[in-house]
């Protein structure tokens, strides 16, 4: 018998059938929110502080020592950390109120704006909530946006105050001459260096440290503070933008509350859990998660991708990585991070003897097909507990979002770490709230069912050949509707009208993604309109889907697939993983001393890489027509600094096509 997980209404929209798999504790919590009137971010923080006051909330590791190592003429920062130091829910709330009082004391009025340009850390969250309590709208910016995008976001929102950090202060100071309206910078200090010695070409800019801001707070001013309303703009969140300038998405407190309700109604989590926070807080997935976990009473240990494990770039030799110290039960991750974790494990395995490597891979193959039982438990004891230890040993849930997760990556991570891998789907414009995998649904590669109070509508896309009348499954462009849908884009009325539409009295956002529903009412993402190209023979190729599969090969650090509508096949530009490329080159007789750049130009190497990718893609069910027929290899890294990927690690296709125009043309021109 098929378990119906969502139902399709008379208006054609799918909605979650929550009576089948709802989290009862989550529904009880939502009921408590409604009864207490807690429907804005500050009011939920207050509610949670009252309920969880003595429990640990935010953990930050003590920084003991900083040094710089010289590697090939470049200085690399290395950090020595101690234990996590925890602040309780009540202690954090007290800080929030001090921030609110200080901001009001400096003359900020409701609906004024401040920008945050800082990496993920406890003080980021405290400053944001303190500003929201004062009715201030918070403008969020990715720290790895390029300079022009940073200037665009700060200038467009006309903020006069920027909240930054010790690490990013030198960069911000260089941009201040281009930011005429900025007159104040609040600095989140470093544990060893404080706020350093900020310098600026403008004498009109004042600097104040976070600790000084707390000291100057006069709590009496809070008596007149009304706080924000549910329909007030809480966040102007700048998307990373795959084309052009990033867009400012207008997110209300009601939008965030809807996201909180969706999370708590589907994810089983309580105050005994610990979450490791290392993704960027300016990313809607991370911000929504942390606000939701705060509402539940979960502990949050702050980290960074650069200090996550013992082998992370900034961890000093002999220092334990953050994950081993925090021992989290839950983490968020984008597929790219999981792919790199897998490749790191595989590379370590390949450094061992052939016998040990074979045993590891045979054990992994067994456990992918047999998660439970005596033999599976023995493989954990003998092999996989060492792998689990890299993430602290206690992880029971990994939630992914931001991009499609391949079947292979999902299975390998679940086997190695012995945990559930669940996928969520949402966008900045839907407050990260569209669908989520039901906790008891183990069918791979889905993005789950519509969240609580969310409607999912499919619309025909004739050009791509997708229709809601398709058999056996209805297919079409995904429209997300409900209270999680943002107000629109800042200063972009035309784009707002194009992307935000109304159907049967419900406000929807056009995602540009192509989805399909199975007979259980579970959604799969199968294409993206911008990624779909029609070849000369009439075949459609979903570039993103091909890249998702091929990126899981150990040889591939990154890949961009190109297709021309007047050609019969696709080609690709690949950034290879250095160690894997060296090893493969040795296997075909290339000298160990050969440089990586020379290997990338070698026809025999290119042919071998192409064959490996073809075999890998075939095993992952790619069609022959989807496989790149020709390759260009390059050791140039794709980063936000060179504008080739977004801050969420998505490819900027237009920029990549421009950069590699000659190479792609040569691939098509060669016989």
Q: Please give the domain boundaries of the chain with CATH numbers for all domains.
A: 6-13+438-529 (2.30.38.10), 22-322 (3.40.50.980), 330-393+395-425 (no CATH), 535-669 (3.30.300.30)
Lowest mean pLDDT among 245-254, 397-406, 420-429: 397-406
- Rounded Cα distance between 56 and 385, Å, is 27
1, pLDDT greater than 80: no
Q: Which of 19-23, 120-124, 258-262, 574-578 has the lowest mean pLDDT?
A: 19-23
Average pLDDT in the 658-665 region? 91
Residue 115 near residue 161 (C-beta atoms within 8 A): yes
Residue 655: CB atoms within 10 A of its CB come to 16
How confident is the model over 98-104, as a mean pLDDT? 97
Mean pLDDT of 135-159: 94
Give dist(CA 487, CA 613) in Å, integer. 43
* Contact yes or no for 458/479 (Cβ under 8 A): yes
* CA neighbor of 234 nearest in space, from 254, 259, 216, 251: 251
**Angle formed at CA 391 by CA 389 and CA 397, multiple of 5 degrees:** 115
* Average pLDDT, integer, range 19-46: 87
Give Cβ neighbours of residue 38 (< 8 Å, ≥ 6 apart): 32, 44, 46, 47
The answer to whether the CB of 424 falls within 8 A of the CB of 394 is: no
Region 640-655: mean pLDDT is: 78
Secondary structure (3-state) at 352: coil
Is the whole model's pTM more than 0.75, yes or no? yes
pLDDT at 651 over 90: no
Residue 2 has pLDDT above 80, yes or no: no
Q: Would you state the pLDDT for residue 70?
A: 82
For residue 22, what pLDDT band results from cuts at 50, 70 and 90? low
How much is the average pLDDT of 192-202? 80
- Residues in contact with 211: Cβ distance below 8 Å, sequence separation at least 6, in sequence order: 189
% residues pLDDT > 90 (the chain): 66
Task: Report the pLDDT value the prediction gives residue 17, as an integer from 0 to 100.
Answer: 83
Q: Does 496 or 408 have the greater pLDDT score? A: 496
User: Residue for token digits 């052009």?
Assistant: 244
The confidence band for 535, taking pLDDT boundaries of 50, 70 and 90, is confident
- Per the DSSP assignment, residues forming a β-bridge with 463 are none
Average pLDDT, the chain: 91
Provide CB contacts within 8 A for 83, sequence distance 6+: 61, 62, 325
Task: Tell me what pLDDT residue 19 has.
Answer: 62
What pLDDT is attached to residue 671? 54
């Amino acid at each position: 018998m098929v378990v119906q997980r969502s139902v399709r209404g008379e208006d054609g929209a799918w909605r979650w059938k929550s009576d089948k798999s709802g989290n009862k504790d989550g529904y009880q919590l939502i009921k408590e929110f409604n009864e207490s009137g807690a429907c804005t971010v500050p009011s939920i923080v207050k509610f949670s502080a009252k309920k969880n006051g003595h429990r640990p909330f935010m953990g930050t590791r003590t920084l003991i020592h900083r040094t710089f190592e010289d590697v090939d003429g470049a200085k690399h920062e290395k950090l020595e950390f101690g234990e996590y130091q925890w602040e309780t829910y009540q202690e954090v709330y007290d800080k929030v109120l001090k921030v609110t009082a200080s901001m009001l004391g400096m003359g900020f009025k409701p609906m004024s704006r401040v920008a945050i340009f800082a990496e993920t850390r406890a003080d980021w969250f405290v400053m944001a909530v303190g500003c929201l309590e004062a009715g201030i709208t918070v403008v969020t910016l990715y720290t790895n946006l390029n300079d022009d995008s940073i200037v665009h976001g700060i200038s467009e929102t006309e903020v006069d105050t920027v909240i930054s950090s010790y690490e990013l202060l030198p960069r911000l100071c260089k941009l201040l001459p281009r930011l005429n309206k900025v007159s104040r910078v609040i600095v989140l200090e470093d544990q060893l260096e404080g706020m350093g010695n900020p310098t600026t070409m403008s004498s009109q800019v004042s600097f104040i440290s976070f600790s000084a801001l707390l000291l100057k707070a006069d709590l009496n001013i809070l008596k007149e503070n009304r706080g924000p309303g549910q329909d007030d703009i809480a966040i102007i969140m700048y998307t990373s933008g795959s084309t052009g300038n990033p867009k400012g998405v207008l997110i209300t407190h009601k939008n965030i509350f809807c996201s909180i309700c969706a999370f708590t109604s589907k994810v089983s989590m309580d105050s005994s859990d610990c979450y490791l926070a290392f993704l960027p807080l300016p990313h809607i997935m991370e911000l929504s998660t942390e606000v939701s976990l705060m509402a539940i009473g979960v502990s949050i240990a702050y980290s960074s991708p650069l200090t996550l494990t013992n082998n992370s770039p900034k961890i000093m030799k002999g220092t334990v990585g953050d994950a081993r110290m925090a021992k989290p039960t839950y983490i968020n991750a984008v597929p790219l991070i999981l792919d790199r974790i897998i490749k790191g494990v595989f590379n370590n395995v390949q450094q061992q003897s052939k016998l040990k490597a074979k045993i590891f891979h045979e054990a992994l193959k067994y456990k992918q097909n047999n998660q439970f039982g005596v033999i599976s438990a023995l493989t954990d004891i003998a092999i996989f507990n060492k792998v689990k230890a890299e993430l602290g040993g206690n992880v029971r849930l990994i939630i992914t979002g931001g991009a499609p997760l391949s079947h292979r990556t999902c299975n390998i991570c679940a086997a190695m770490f012995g945990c559930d891998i669940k996928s969520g789907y949402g966008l900045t414009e839907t407050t990260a709230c569209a669908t989520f995998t039901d906790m008891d649904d183990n069918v791979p590669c889905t993005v789950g069912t519509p969240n609580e109070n969310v409607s999912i509508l499919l619309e025909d896309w004739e050009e791509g050949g997708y229709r809601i009348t398709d058999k056996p499954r209805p297919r079409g462009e995904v429209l997300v509707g409900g209270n999680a849908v943002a107000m629109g884009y800042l200063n972009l009325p035309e784009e707002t009208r194009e992307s935000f539409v109304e159907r049967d009295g419900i406000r929807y956002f056009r995602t540009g993604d192509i989805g399909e529903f199975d007979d259980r009412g579970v959604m799969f993402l199968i294409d993206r309109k911008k990624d779909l190209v029609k070849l000369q023979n009439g075949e459609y190729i979903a570039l993103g889907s091909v890249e998702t599969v091929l990126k899981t090969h150990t040889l591939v650090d990154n890949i961009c697939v190109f297709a021309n509508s007047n050609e019969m096949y696709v080609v690709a530009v690949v950034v290879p993983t250095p160690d894997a490329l060296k090893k493969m080159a040795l296997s075909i007789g290339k000298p160990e001393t050969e440089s990586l750049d020379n290997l990338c130009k070698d026809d025999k190497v290119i042919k071998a890489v192409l064959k490996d990718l073809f075999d890998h893609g075939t095993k992952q069910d790619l069609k022959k027509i989807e496989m790149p027929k020709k390759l260009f290899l390059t050791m140039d890294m794709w980063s936000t600094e060179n504008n080739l990927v977004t801050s969420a690690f998505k490819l900027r296709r237009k920029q990549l096509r421009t950069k590699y125009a000659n190479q792609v043309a040569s691939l098509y021109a060669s016989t």
